[in-house]
């Protein structure tokens, strides 16, 4: 091998070495995202004994408005439990969860509604959870979202009707009487 070929071989080896160093250096400096567990959704997750809470979110129109808690609760124990969710200003909701089963709060016919969300939409509200079979409880933060995202709009709690907005029986009877056709209005048909 002549002097020119040795020089080219040395430069090629050096370039290959620098290339390999730069490729492996990224993994050395930056942590691998796959080695860290995180909630890959809009909500948060936590554990409480045999209960696993996943994708927990509060859907509300405002900080002082009612908020519906959505997410999933998994019960890995061999007994039925009741999960209690405590929010701001003493608001709370209870969720029954069967043994070795799960409950989806999104599909529940009895939604978990807190009387106040406890935080503005776009921020985090602190909630405390407990389970009726133990004295354990856990506090964690849950995102509060509003109906801006179309998929969450259906979960906004509807306000309870007030006494002034409900019609009395006499008002209902009057409105049905006016809707009934009279014989004189149908005679031409």
- Summarised one tens digit per residue, pLDDT across range 147-179 is 898 989 999 987 665 554 444 444 444 333 334
Residue 22 in this model has a pLDDT that exceeds 50: yes
User: Residue 104 to residues 20, 27, 99, 124: CA-CA distances in angstroms?
Assistant: 49, 39, 14, 21
Q: How confident is the model at residue 27 (pLDDT cuts 50, 70, 90)?
A: low
Provide the mean pLDDT of the chain. 80
**Residue closest to 86 by CA, chosen among 131, 45, 55, 122:** 131
The pTM assigned to this predicted structure is: 0.66
Task: Give pLDDT tens digits for 176-186.
Answer: 333 434 444 44
Contacts of 117 (CB under 8 A, 6+ apart): 58, 60, 62, 63, 64, 65, 66, 67, 87, 88, 125, 144
DSSP state of 175: H
């Amino acid at each position: 091998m002549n002097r020119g070929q040795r020089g080219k071989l040395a430069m090629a080896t050096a370039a290959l070495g620098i290339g390999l160093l730069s490729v492996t250096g990224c993994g050395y400096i930056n942590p691998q995202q796959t080695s860290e567990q995180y909630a890959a959704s809009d909500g948060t997750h936590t554990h409480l004994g045999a209960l696993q809470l996943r994708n927990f979110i509060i859907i509300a129109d405002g900080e002082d408005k009612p908020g519906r808690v959505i997410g999933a609760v998994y019960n890995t124990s061999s007994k039925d439990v009741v999960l209690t969710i405590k929010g701001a200003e003493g608001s709370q909701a209870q969720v029954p969860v069967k043994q070795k089963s799960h409950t989806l709060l999104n599909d529940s016919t009895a939604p978990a509604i807190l009387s106040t969300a406890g935080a503005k939409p776009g921020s985090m509200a602190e909630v405390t959870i407990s389970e009726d079979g133990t004295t354990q409880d856990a506090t964690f933060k849950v995102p509060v979202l509003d109906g801006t995202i179309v998929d969450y709009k259906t979960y906004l709690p509807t306000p309870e009707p007030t006494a002034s907005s409900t019609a009395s029986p006499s008002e209902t009877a009057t409105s049905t009487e006016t809707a009934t056709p009279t014989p004189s209005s149908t005679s031409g048909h």
